[in-house]
Amino acid sequence: MPALVAVPIRGPAFVDALRRLWDEGAAVFPLDPRHPPAVQAALLARVRPTEVEDEGGRRPLPGGEPAADGDALVLATSGTTAEPKGVVLTEAALQAAARMTSDAVAVDPASDTWLCCSPVAHAGGFGVVNRALRTGTALVVHEVFDAAAVTASGATLTALVPTMLHRVDASAFRLIVLGGMGMPAHRPANAVATYGLTETMGGVVYDGRPLPGVEVRCGAGGAIEVRSPTALRCYRTEDGEHDPRDPGGWLATGDLGEVDASGLVTIHGRADEVIVTGGEKVWPEAVEAVLRRLPGVADVAVIGRRDPEWGQQVVAVVEAAPGEVPPTLDAARAAVKEVLPPWCAPRALELVRTLPRTPSGKVRRAALTGQVDDPGS
């Protein structure tokens, strides 16, 4: 059976190792070097690769279990609300992802160049590498995100998360693929908003439209389910393998949203992040989109805090823009009430120096409770 090799990410050197291991028929587990040793050790124990290849060479790992025939990749989920899982993706899924996403942005291998400046341990960054290698498109890899270097890269295509977008000159690229939550209300014409999961090898819905071959439906209560040729084979954990799809191949995403009669997909947010205040549902994403447009807001996360009267209180946690005056609570409430029902308006506004994020740039909402400080202190 194929080896499963853990490989610490070291910029372009990782891509070289990936090519070689795939040529050998091995599956690869990218290890994010930004994780502290204890976290890396926990991930290795959870995923159980058979070997590790680092600067010291390639060596076996005790207790490792080989990959199954056809497996090519294991990615760790972000783990924003739970322990990360090892997502097993097959060669067929990676081939489908490269073809479908390249077709969606009309990649021309003769003239385009992909820039990978997002973490390769996550689907967004790895997706860039995967589609470049499998379509023969030129690839530039930056080991860390540097806005000036991104703008000056000379690449025509890249993948970013919203927190990166406003830091770069978007006009430097023919097209930008945006992934993750918190899409800006207004974005450049050359930026495509995508929706997907690690379990679907990244974005499979582009600007609200499922890619060819991808199906999206709403289950009970607006629960979004996806069926895609790019989907995972299974999860890999300490307890063995587990396929989260139902017998028909549908994957419950954990997100809530809508699919209209034309097939247009709208995502409201994570099911476990919806705020219920006074019996009314509030979607944090919609409120955040309004508040991000206010002067003095670098970024914002909207959360629910327990409240004896309302059940949950809508709270805006604001990362103030450097050198600017953040909005008052009254200003924030007024802005939200202009475009959303009144119960969506925050009842409290808290300031933080920086919002806590995962390595892939997602805000860690669960970490916000009690994490408030005063930027002036």
- Does residue 142 fall inside a structural domain? yes
pLDDT at 268 over 90: no
In a domain, 361, yes or no: yes
Which has the minimum average pLDDT: 36-50, 51-65, 257-271, 359-373? 359-373
Asked whether residue 108 falls in the same domain as residue 239, the answer is: yes
Same domain as 146, residue 10: yes
Task: Examine the fold and report which residue of 267, 291, 306 is the final residue of a domain before the chain moves on.
Answer: 267
Which candidate, 177, 136, 187, places its Cα nearest to that of 156?
Answer: 177
Statement to judge: residues 254 and 304 lie in one domain:
no
Residues 283 and 238 grouped into a single domain: no
Selected residue with higher pLDDT from 239 and 113: 113
pTM, full prediction: 0.81
The 10 Å Cβ neighbour count of residue 28 is 25
Residues 10 and 131 grouped into a single domain? yes
Distance CA 175, CA 113 (A): 11
Contact (CB, 8 A) for 75 and 32? no
User: Which residue range is the domain that position 303 belongs to?
Assistant: 274-368
Structural domains of the chain, count: 2
Reading the block at residue 13, the tokens are 């050197």
Q: What is the pLDDT of residues 270-295, one digit of tens each?
A: 887 889 898 888 989 889 999 999 99
Claim to verify: residue 261 and residue 289 sit in the same structural domain: no
3 state DSSP class of 261 = coil
pLDDT at residue 285, as a whole number: 87
State the Cα–Cα distance between residues 256 and 274, nearest whole angstrom: 9
For position 373, what pLDDT does the model report? 40
Q: Does residue 339 fall inside a structural domain?
A: yes
Question: Can you give the CATH number for the domain in which 83 is found?
Answer: 3.40.50.12780
The residue among 83, 84, 145 whose CA lies nearest residue 117 is 145
Same domain assignment for residues 278 and 296: yes
Query: Which residues fall within 8 angstroms of residue 6, CB to CB, at 6 or more apart?
Result: 29, 30, 31, 44, 47, 49, 51, 52, 53, 61
User: For residue range 93-142, what is the model confidence (pLDDT) as tens digits?
Assistant: 999 999 999 999 999 999 999 999 998 998 999 999 999 999 999 999 99
Instruction: Check if the beta carbon of residue 50 is closer than 8 Å to that of residue 2.
Output: no
Give the three-state DSSP class for 117: coil
Q: Distance between CA 283 and CA 137 in Å, rounded?
A: 39
Residue type, 58: R
Q: What is the CATH number of the domain that holds 350?
A: 3.30.300.30
Same domain, 261 and 280: no
Here the contacts of 265-273 (C-beta below 8 Å, separation 24 or greater) are 265/195, 265/205, 265/208, 265/209, 265/210, 265/216, 265/224, 266/208, 267/195, 267/224, 268/222, 269/181, 270/81, 270/181, 271/221, 271/223, 272/81, 273/303, 273/365
Both 279 and 153 in a single domain?
no
Residue 375 has pLDDT above 50, yes or no: no
pLDDT averaged over every residue in the chain = 91
Boundary of a domain, candidates 267, 301, 327: 267
Q: Single out the residue in 267, 302, 331 at which a domain terminates.
A: 267
Residue with tokens 């760790």: 76
